[in-house]
Structure 1
């Protein structure tokens, strides 16, 4: 059995993205390193803070994930390679459970993201990459 991921904010944010109506557009934003944030979650690219003396600076070539409201805020900072390891299962969930018709588009976008982040091509990845097991939940529809 794979171990669960310990990056709570990463999983929660990607879960929201996968269950949104604009996941394909969000993949384009990820490729272009465009940050996304609101009151309860965020994905912020380090390119937004290029001054190491800025109080909000958190490093180079990393992504900061934030989730929570108030005093229970959770923050995870991960590099591009680790982020990609979380993104692949999220994309697999999106294709398998939500939009099988987007399989080719998602595959193309993942390749574009790898290239944009300067990640080396790697051998075919297994479903649970490196022992990571990430759970994504299909959004419940309101019953009327």
Structure 2
């Protein structure tokens, strides 16, 4: 089993099955700048490339044509109209957490910093919604 398949299998074992999110996170975990990607999630900074990226709903106003809900994150991977997944802030954390656990298994020496960033990410997304939303 290659690393990509191993990552997908790990996500499935955690009942995480949104393909665009898995694809984007797999590329992040497999890249050399995973720590920077986690910083970006902590700061709600998306990355947009031609065929892959992360977009935060905070970037749009409610009356914009592109608006896709409040406190949501859109992941896209591919060039088709259906090659995306949208999750709310609460649904996002398990994906990032599973990606971090996978990364730690491959890079045990970075466990402390990854767990610190993961805690900050959890705080960021747990405070972004009020109970009435």
Q: When the two structures are superposed, what TM-score results if normalisation uses the length of structure 2?
A: 0.80
Whole-angstrom CA distance in 1 between matches of 2:125 and 2:65: 25
> Which of 36, 48, 55 matches 1:37?
48
The structure whose residues are more often helix, as a share, is 2
| Runs of at least 5 residues in structure 2 that lack an aligned partner in the other structure | 1-11, 128-133
Instruction: Kindly indicate whether residue 60 of structure 2 is the aligned counterpart of residue 60 of structure 1.
Output: no
Instruction: Kindly indicate whether residue 49 of structure 2 is the aligned counterpart of residue 79 of structure 1.
Output: no
Whole-angstrom CA distance in 2 between matches of 1:24 and 1:67: 20
Contact 2:21-2:75 at 8 Å conserved across structures: yes
**Which one has more relative contact order, counting CA pairs under 8 Å at least 6 apart?**
1
> Which of 13, 20, 27 matches 1:16?
27
Q: When the two structures are superposed, what TM-score results if normalisation uses the length of structure 1?
A: 0.75
| Runs of at least 5 residues in structure 1 that lack an aligned partner in the other structure | 120-144
Q: What is the aligned length?
A: 116
Cα RMSD over matched residues? 1.7
Whole-angstrom CA distance in 2 between matches of 1:88 and 1:39: 26
Q: Which runs of 4+ in 1 moved over 6 A?
A: none
Larger Rg: 1
